[in-house]
Amino acid sequence: MSTQLFIADLHLEAARTAASDHFLTFLDGPARQADALYILGDLFEYWVGDDDPAAFFDPAIKRLKALAADGLKIAFCHGNRDFLVGPALAERMRAELLGDETLIEHQGQRVLLMHGDTLCTDDTDYQKLRHQLHSPQWQQAFLSLPLTQRHEQARALRAQSQEAQVSKASDIIDVNDTAVTEAIQRHRANVLIHGHTHRPARHELSIDGREVTRWVLPDWFSGGGYLRADEHGLTLIDGVH
């Protein structure tokens, strides 16, 4: 039975060296003993294009590449902060790029993987912005800008997002129950794993007469954490040691 690890919401950036250190510890420890690592979005605080040298991230990227060379399967799902990660960076990390919704199997169960932002349908302002940012026209125009301008715009969008979060009710920025149900029904999933909300938990649901588990992954603003799937089932682990 293989061991699969799931992480999300690391939000790596030069201003937060602790998160990067925790990630390197994780890669040298739990990830080295696993068969697969699924990164479910927001590995980076923001990503402005694969042509950005982004030297601060080199140690983590090189470590991922080395682990892949040793046999670790690495898969990456875009988050709301790093949706511009493209094939070039994926190749540097030796990672498979996933879609917004990916179905895998574990112990005979159908496991649906998502970042989670598309489940927050009550936040209509965010969903409109997401639609704009994911349009090919916007991305082509943005990626044609000089790197300095892209960084400026990314920082402005981040500040705008943080300001908007403060004024929104907590239930608005959490997942919508109907969106969760519909995603699970689309894939006939037994398990849903996602991040984005920064509210780590295990939720037991009953959908169409089936028992379904929804796992919310922890963020890495303190000590980090991950979900482990092995012969014993699924376990949410606090910390990276």
Residues of the binding site for Mn(2+): 9, 11, 42, 80, 115, 196, 198
Owner of token pair 């006939």 = 188
What is the Cα 208 distance to its own chain's centre? 28
Q: Give the relative orientation of helices 17-28 and 58-69 as an angle to the nearest 10 degrees.
A: 10
- CA diameter of the chain: 53
Q: Report the C-alpha gap between 185 and 201 in whole angstroms.
A: 21
Residue ranges for the known binding site are 9, 11, 42, 80-81, 115, 123, 161, 165, 168, 196, 198
Q: Of 58, 44, 53, which Cα lies nearest the Cα of 154?
A: 44
Collapse the DSSP code of 105 into the 3-class scheme (helix H, G, I; strand E, B; otherwise coil) and give the result.
strand
Cα angle 20, 79, 109 (rounded to 5 degrees) comes to 100
Length of the chain in terms of residues written? 241
Cα distance between residue 42 and residue 83, in whole Å: 8
| Cα dist from 208 to 136, 189, 202, 216, whole Å | 37, 11, 19, 21
Binding-site sequence positions for substrate: 80-81, 123, 161, 165, 168, 196
18 vs 8: CA distance, rounded Å: 16
